[in-house]
């Protein structure tokens, strides 16, 4: 049984993903997928690469996820699964690319600037 590896990233979350042919079982950090991602939208996000490539019950996924919150982790996992599917079958690149699943989402939190209350918010101005 051959396993394929890929790394997915989003915000500060990093997902290391191994996929192999199987029955559609997903394990995240040695925990069942449904228990780890208890929010339904997170599950839908992770299932997207399988819907696009029509491989829902054909591939087993084993992943370790570190950093960030649940939202960033599920999107990092989606990115990793999409990249691993592309390595497994290069013909899947076209539908995955068209769905925008191979592109690393580079949006991260903007840093706080000195002299300001936040990244862009200023302190209240008092005229008198």
- Whole-number Å distance between alpha carbons of 92 and 113: 43
List pLDDT tens digits, range 5-52.
999 999 999 999 999 999 999 999 999 999 999 999 999 999 999 999
Radius of gyration of the chain (CA): 18
Residue 85 confidence (pLDDT): 96
Q: Has residue 112 got a pLDDT over 90? A: yes
Domains, in order of start, for the chain: 3-98 (3.30.230.10)
């Amino acid at each position: 049984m051959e396993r394929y590896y890929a790394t997915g990233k989003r915000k500060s979350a990093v997902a290391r993903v191994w996929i192999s042919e199987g029955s559609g079982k997903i394990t995240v950090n040695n925990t069942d997928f449904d228990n780890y991602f208890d929010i339904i939208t997170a599950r839908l996000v992770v299932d997207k690469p399988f819907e696009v490539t029509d491989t829902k019950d054909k591939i087993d996924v084993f992943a370790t996820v570190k950093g960030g919150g649940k939202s960033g982790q599920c999107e990092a996992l989606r990115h990793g699964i999409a990249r691993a599917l592309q390595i497994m079958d290069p013909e899947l690149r076209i539908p995955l690319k068209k769905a925008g699943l191979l592109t690393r989402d580079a949006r991260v939190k903007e840093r706080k600037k000195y002299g300001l209350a936040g990244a862009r918010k200023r302190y209240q101005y008092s005229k008198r």
